[in-house]
Amino acid sequence: MTDELDPSAPAPGHVAEVERICDRFEAALRDGGRPQIEDELLALVASGRDLLLKELIALDLAYRRRVGETPGPAEYLGRFPDDELAVRAAFGVL
């Protein structure tokens, strides 16, 4: 069941799945890996995809910035052109 105020909100059970996927993604980043957001998105059904994408981009940004990279929204919009709201939310630009 989705949030009546926001039909794109993930079902309650999907929030835990988003957290599990994000934990795995962050562990790979912490270990020096370069996991691909696209691969992680395949692990979740549609109702949690926006939340998962936003969280994965935020993690990716944090780790990339720690090593001196300066990725911008355009890079992620190029990779996820159908997910502009999630990309902008990850950058705090709505």
pLDDT value, residue 9: 65
pLDDT value, residue 72: 95
Q: What is the 3-state secondary structure (H, E, C) of the chain?
A: CCCCCCCCCCCHHHHHHHHHHHHHHHHHHHCCCCCCHHHHHCCCCHHHHHHHHHHHHHHHHHHHHHCCCCCCHHHHHHHCCCCHHHHHHHCCCC
pLDDT tens, residue order, the chain (94 aa): 344 455 556 666 778 888 999 999 999 999 999 999 999 888 776 667 888 999 999 999 999 999 999 999 999 999 999 999 999 999 988 6
- Establish if 3 belongs to a structural domain: no
- Establish if 73 belongs to a structural domain: yes
pLDDT value, residue 44: 72
- Establish if 78 belongs to a structural domain: yes
Tokens representing residue 64 in the block: 């990339």
pLDDT value, residue 30: 96
Q: Is the pTM of this model over 0.85?
A: no
- Establish if 1 belongs to a structural domain: no
- Establish if 60 belongs to a structural domain: yes
Query: Range of 47's domain?
Result: 12-90
Work out how many domains the chain is built from and give that number.
1
pLDDT value, residue 17: 85
- Establish if 2 belongs to a structural domain: no
pLDDT value, residue 42: 84
> Sign of the C-alpha dihedral, residues 24, 93, 84, 80?
negative
